[in-house]
């Protein structure tokens, strides 16, 4: 089912948690809501689920207005960050819960429920654990039970609020892969919240970047990483270097390095900022032979060996700005770089 959010605003007393948010989630997509804590992700999810009402705007499911429809009629599956399983119920009863509480008219028979729960246990790879209690499962297993419970009512779409947030890195990675696999198998529309950019990039077809109650950018992981819409998205999606300079007559000067821009050729001089990912900083021991390539000198202040990559903390000699470069271990060994050494750096993929 497709979900459309149209110009939604939501306030808590005088505090505006969502400001004119619009979104389109096509049927069958896996979409990540990515943003820092407090950016309004949970609020947006609760509005889509029907747990809260917006002051303004509409929420459409398959083109049909659901803004004021009761939560029970929306057929959404919801999984919260803190796996809220019923502690006094075994796994079977936890998963069956949403089916057993239905009115007699729509409630499946005991046999049907049994069959359903066992097929869900198989789906989340927890066969044989039906009679255990939540306290007898690992965090990752509990979260899979929570997903099975959400799926039991055959939701039209799934809303997951930081579903793996409370788990350790290795388990998170496993569950991510598993969720991706599950999504492929079920073809369900899934909207999941995360504050972890890596999780969003790895899992999602589309990423919605939120900040302070607004949508900053919507795009594929590739688009938002390589073509960030603004400085917030740029810095939220990974490490970034900022170089401050000035733009004048269509040229941007960042210290001794000068770059052409497509900016309007204004005669006034204005401040400008260049952004660059650390892995786009090219480090070498000599200035480039081609003098058209802009380079500056920098001093290495620290070398961090991070497994397959090496990070250098650098300081420009022309402006004293500090920045980072990243390269493969192999490249680092080839260059034989040493701390306190002076290197030449060139700026690839600099954006303004
Ligand atoms: P996120 O999930 O991105 O961390 P939330 O949607 O939970 O953000 O919250 C967004 C903002 O709205 C936060 O500043 C939070 O303090 C505020 N907020 C959320 N729920 C309530 C509430 N029930 N009452 C008052 N303020 C709230
Ligand atoms: Mg939240």
Q: Is 18 within the bounds of a domain?
A: yes
**What is residue 166's predicted lDDT score, i.e. its pLDDT?**
72
Give me ligand 1 centre to Cα 38, in Å.
6
What's the domain count of the chain?
Answer: 2
Ligand nearest to the CA of residue 43, numbered in listed order: 1
**What is residue 265's predicted lDDT score, i.e. its pLDDT?**
63
Pair 33, 124 in one domain: yes
Give me ligand 1 centre to Cα 43, in Å.
6
- Residue 22 · residue 7 · CB < 8 Å: yes
Q: φ, ψ for residue 328 (rounded to 5)?
A: -70, 160
109 ligand 1 Cβ < 6 A: no
Q: Is 230 within the bounds of a domain?
A: yes
User: Which of the listed residues 236, 253, 269 is the one where a domain comes to its end?
Assistant: 236
Ligand 1 atom index nearest CA of 15: 26
Pair 84, 221 in one domain: yes
Q: Is 22 within the bounds of a domain?
A: yes
Q: How far is CA 132 from CA 92, 125, 182, 234, 341, in A?
A: 8, 14, 23, 46, 60
Give me ligand 2 centre to Cα 38, in Å.
7
Pair 82, 134 in one domain: yes
CATH of the domain at 281: 2.40.50.100
Give me ligand 1 centre to Cα 33, in Å.
15
Pair 227, 289 in one domain: no
35 ligand 1 Cβ < 6 A: yes
- Rounded to 5°, the CA angle 160-139-129 comes to 100
Give me ligand 1 centre to Cα 17, in Å.
6
Distance of CA 268 to the CA centre of its chain: 39
Q: Is 129 within the bounds of a domain?
A: yes
43 ligand 1 Cβ < 6 A: yes
CA–CA distance, 92 with 272 (Å, rounded to integer): 60
Pair 40, 146 in one domain: yes
**What is residue 83's predicted lDDT score, i.e. its pLDDT?**
60
Ligand nearest to the CA of residue 80, numbered in listed order: 2
CATH of the domain at 25: 3.40.50.300
Q: How far is CA 177 from CA 164, 172, 193, 340, in A?
A: 12, 9, 16, 42
Pair 246, 276 in one domain: yes
Give me ligand 1 centre to Cα 15, in Å.
9
> Which domain, by its residues, includes 343?
241-347
CA–CA distance, 352 with 230 (Å, rounded to integer): 9
Pair 213, 332 in one domain: no
Q: Residue 46 corresponds to which tokens in the numbers above?
A: 């609760």
40 ligand 1 Cβ < 6 A: yes
Ligand nearest to the CA of residue 33, numbered in listed order: 1
Pair 41, 127 in one domain: yes
Closest residue CA from atom 5 of ligand 1: 40
Pair 96, 210 in one domain: yes
Total-model pTM: 0.83
Ligand nearest to the CA of residue 40, numbered in listed order: 1
Helix (H) or strand (E) holding 223: helix 221-226
38 ligand 1 Cβ < 6 A: yes
37 ligand 1 Cβ < 6 A: yes
- Residue-by-residue pLDDT tens, the chain, 352 positions: 899 999 999 999 999 999 999 999 999 999 999 999 999 999 999 999 998 999 999 999 999 999 988 877 778 888 877 667 899 999 999 999 988 887 788 888 899 999 999 999 998 889 999 999 999 999 889 988 998 998 998 888 999 999 887 778 888 888 888 889 889 988 899 999 999 998 999 999 999 999 999 999 999 999 998 888 988 999 899 889 999 999 888 889 999 999 887 776 667 788 988 889 999 999 999 999 998 899 999 999 999 999 999 999 999 999 999 999 999 999 999 999 999 999 999 988 888 8
**What is residue 76's predicted lDDT score, i.e. its pLDDT?**
86
Q: Is 352 within the bounds of a domain?
A: no
Instruction: Find, among 259, 319, 49, 86, the residue nearest to 160 by Cα.
Output: 49
User: Which of the listed residues 208, 236, 264 is the one where a domain comes to its end?
Assistant: 236
- Sheet of 342-347: strands edge to edge? 281-284, 342-347, 295-306, 309-316, 322-328
Q: Is 284 within the bounds of a domain?
A: yes
Q: Is 82 within the bounds of a domain?
A: yes
* Ligand 1 pocket test target in 34, 40, 191 with most atoms within 8 Å of CB: 40
Instruction: Find, among 182, 148, 188, 142, the residue nearest to 165 by Cα.
Output: 142
3-state secondary structure of 99: helix
- DSSP secondary structure of 137-158: S-HHHHHHHHHHHHHHT--SEE
Pair 228, 245 in one domain: no
Closest residue CA from atom 25 of ligand 1: 12
194 ligand 1 Cβ < 6 A: no
Closest residue CA from atom 24 of ligand 1: 12
**What is residue 266's predicted lDDT score, i.e. its pLDDT?**
66
User: Which of the listed residues 219, 236, 253 is the one where a domain comes to its end?
Assistant: 236
**What is residue 99's predicted lDDT score, i.e. its pLDDT?**
87
Pair 138, 252 in one domain: no
**What is residue 330's predicted lDDT score, i.e. its pLDDT?**
95
Ligand 1 atom index nearest CA of 210: 3
Q: Is 274 within the bounds of a domain?
A: yes
**What is residue 327's predicted lDDT score, i.e. its pLDDT?**
97
Pair 303, 183 in one domain: no
**What is residue 173's predicted lDDT score, i.e. its pLDDT?**
87
**What is residue 238's predicted lDDT score, i.e. its pLDDT?**
86
């Amino acid at each position: 089912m497709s979900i459309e959010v149209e110009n939604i605003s939501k306030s808590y007393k005088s505090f505006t948690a969502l400001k004119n948010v619009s979104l389109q989630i096509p049927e069958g997509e896996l979409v990540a809501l990515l943003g820092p804590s407090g950016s309004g992700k949970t609020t947006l999810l609760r509005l889509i689920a029907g747990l809260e009402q917006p002051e303004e705007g509409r929420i459409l499911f398959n083109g049909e207005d659901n803004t004021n429809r009761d939560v029970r009629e929306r057929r959404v599956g919801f999984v919260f960050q803190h796996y809220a399983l019923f502690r006094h119920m075994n796994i079977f009863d936890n998963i069956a819960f949403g089916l057993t509480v239905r009115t007699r008219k729509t409630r499946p028979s005991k046999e049907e429920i049994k069959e359903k729960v066992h097929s869900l246990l198989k789906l989340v790879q927890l066969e044989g654990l039906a009679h255990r209690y939540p306290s007898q499962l690992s965090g990752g297993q509990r979260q899979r039970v929570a997903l099975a419970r959400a799926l039991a009512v055959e939701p039209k779409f799934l809303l997951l609020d930081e579903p793996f947030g409370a788990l350790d890195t290795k388990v998170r990675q496993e569950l991510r892969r598993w969720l991706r696999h599950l999504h492929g198998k079920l073809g369900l529309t899934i909207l999941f919240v995360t504050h972890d950019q890596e999780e969003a990039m790895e899992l999602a077809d589309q990423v919605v970047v939120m900040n302070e109650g607004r949508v900053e950018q919507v795009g594929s992981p590739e688009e938002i990483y390589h073509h960030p819409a603004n400085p917030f998205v740029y810095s939220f999606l990974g490490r970034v270097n900022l170089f401050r300079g000035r733009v004048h007559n269509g040229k941007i000067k960042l210290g001794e390095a000068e770059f052409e821009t497509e900016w309007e050729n204004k005669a006034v001089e204005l401040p400008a900022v260049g952004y660059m990912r650390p892995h786009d900083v090219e480090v070498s021991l000599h200035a480039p032979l081609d003098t058209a390539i802009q380079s500056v000198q920098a001093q290495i202040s620290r070398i961090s060996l991070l497994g397959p990559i090496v990070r250098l903390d650098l300081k420009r000699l022309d402006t004293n700005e500090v920045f980072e470069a990243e390269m493969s271990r192999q490249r680092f060994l080839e260059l034989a770089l040493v701390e306190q050494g002076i290197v030449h750096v060139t700026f690839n993929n600099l954006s303004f």
